[in-house]
């Protein structure tokens, strides 16, 4: 692995992270496939972390009013011992929904890291993402109901969606795709499921990124200095792209299905699997 990366690669990978973190096609899978496809050295863990923090910033930029309301309501819910406020409930649901991913990351850290070295495996998991998207849409259409808003979420909803987020620690399984699919399966409206998916990602992005930064800096404190420019470029591109894509996707999902993303995952998955056998 090479810890250096040029500016063109930083821009491309920043764009890919910012777009595919929210479009349900697996950002982690793309960050494995693209360097492998073009013969690039695998980006450093620090660079990968800063790309994810770029998308974290995008979430804060788009939803800052929601976060302020949830933080205020969360403290009030503790003081009043009441969950009557929908913002307080959403905040608690985010906390509960984060726990499965934390547990999975701690228990399976080494096997999960090994999966990032296997493009063929990523291809198969992209097919799994396609299946999740397809069958969640089928379930939604058969149910024939508009779906619930976030204000009507339950504790079980948050646990199920949180478990789906834990599954997305596997590269090729889309975090947004699996959590939106889980939300649809639980009867939540498509655009509302996407909204909760984006909000749910914030603790995971921040916590995982912080741990990786501490780990990397402890191993080599000079690593950041030598790669500062491409890291900043990748971070900014990821954040800007993320803001645009979040706003686009929330609007798109109000009147469109997930089938197009399922089809994309099938095509990319089969292409990656086929190419892995050729190479």
Tell me the per-residue pLDDT of 48-63, one tens digit each, with 9 for 90 and over: 888 999 999 999 999 9
Provide the angle, in degrees to the nearest 10, between the axes of the packed helices 7-20 and 228-252: 30
Tell me the per-residue pLDDT of 22-51, one tens digit each, with 9 for 90 and over: 999 999 999 999 999 999 988 877 888 889
Facing residues of 188 across strands? 148
Average pLDDT score over residue span 239-250 = 96
- Is the backbone of residue 42 left (phi > 0), alpha (psi -120 to 50) or beta? beta
Report the sign of the C-alpha dihedral through residues 25, 211, 205, 157, in that order: positive
Q: CA-CA distance, 269 to 32, in Å (whole number)?
A: 12
Query: Whole-prediction pTM value?
Result: 0.90
Per-residue pLDDT at 177: 95
Tell me the per-residue pLDDT of 73-122, one tens digit each, with 9 for 90 and over: 999 999 999 999 999 999 999 999 999 999 998 899 889 888 888 999 99
Q: Report whether pLDDT(248) > 50.
A: yes
Per-residue pLDDT at 226: 57
Do residues 44 and 216 touch, judged by C-beta distance below 8 A?
Answer: yes
Q: If DSSP states are collapsed to H, E and C, what string results for 176-213?
A: HHHHHHHHHHCCECHHHHHHHHHHHHHHHHHHHHHHHH
Please measure the distance between the N-terminal and C-terminal CA atoms of the chain and give it in whole angstroms: 19
Tell me the per-residue pLDDT of 132-161, one tens digit each, with 9 for 90 and over: 999 999 988 887 667 888 899 999 999 999
Query: How buried is residue 207: exposed, middle or buried, by Cβ count under 10 Å (0-12/13-18/19+)?
Result: middle
- Is the backbone of residue 277 left (phi > 0), alpha (psi -120 to 50) or beta? alpha
**What 3-state DSSP class applies to 236?**
helix
Per-residue pLDDT at 213: 74
Largest CA-CA distance found in the chain, in angstroms, rounded = 63
Cβ neighbors of 210 (< 8 A, separation 6 or more) are none
Picking from 73, 72, 3, 66, the residue whose alpha carbon sits closest to that of residue 40 is: 3
């Amino acid at each position: 692995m090479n810890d250096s990366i040029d500016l063109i690669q930083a821009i491309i990978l920043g764009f890919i992270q910012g777009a595919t973190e929210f479009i349900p096609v697996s950002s982690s899978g793309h960050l494995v496939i693209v360097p492998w496809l073009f013969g690039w050295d695998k980006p450093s863990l620090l660079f990968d972390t800063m790309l994810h923090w770029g998308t974290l910033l995008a979430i804060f930029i788009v939803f800052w009013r929601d976060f302020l309301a949830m933080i205020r309501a969360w403290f009030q819910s503790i003081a009043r011992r009441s969950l009557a406020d929908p913002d307080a409930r959403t905040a608690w649901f985010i906390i509960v929904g984060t726990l499965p991913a934390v547990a999975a990351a701690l228990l399976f850290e080494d096997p999960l890291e090994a999966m990032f070295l296997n493009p063929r495996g990523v291809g198969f998991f992209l097919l799994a993402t396609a299946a999740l998207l397809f069958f969640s849409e089928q379930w939604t259409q058969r149910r024939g109901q508009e779906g619930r808003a976030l204000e009507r979420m339950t504790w079980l909803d948050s646990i199920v969606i949180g478990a789906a987020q834990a599954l997305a620690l596997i590269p090729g399984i889309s975090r947004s795709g699996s959590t939106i699919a889980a939300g649809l399966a639980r009867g939540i409206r498509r655009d509302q499921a996407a909204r909760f998916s984006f909000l749910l990602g914030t603790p995971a992005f921040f916590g995982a990124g912080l741990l990786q930064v501490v780990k990397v800096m402890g191993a080599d404190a000079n690593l950041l200095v030598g790669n500062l420019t491409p890291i900043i470029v990748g971070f900014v591109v990821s954040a800007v792209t993320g803001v645009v894509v979040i706003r686009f996707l929330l609007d798109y999902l109000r009147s469109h299905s997930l089938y197009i993303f399922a089809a994309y995952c099938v095509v990319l998955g089969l292409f990656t699997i086929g190419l892995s056998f050729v190479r």
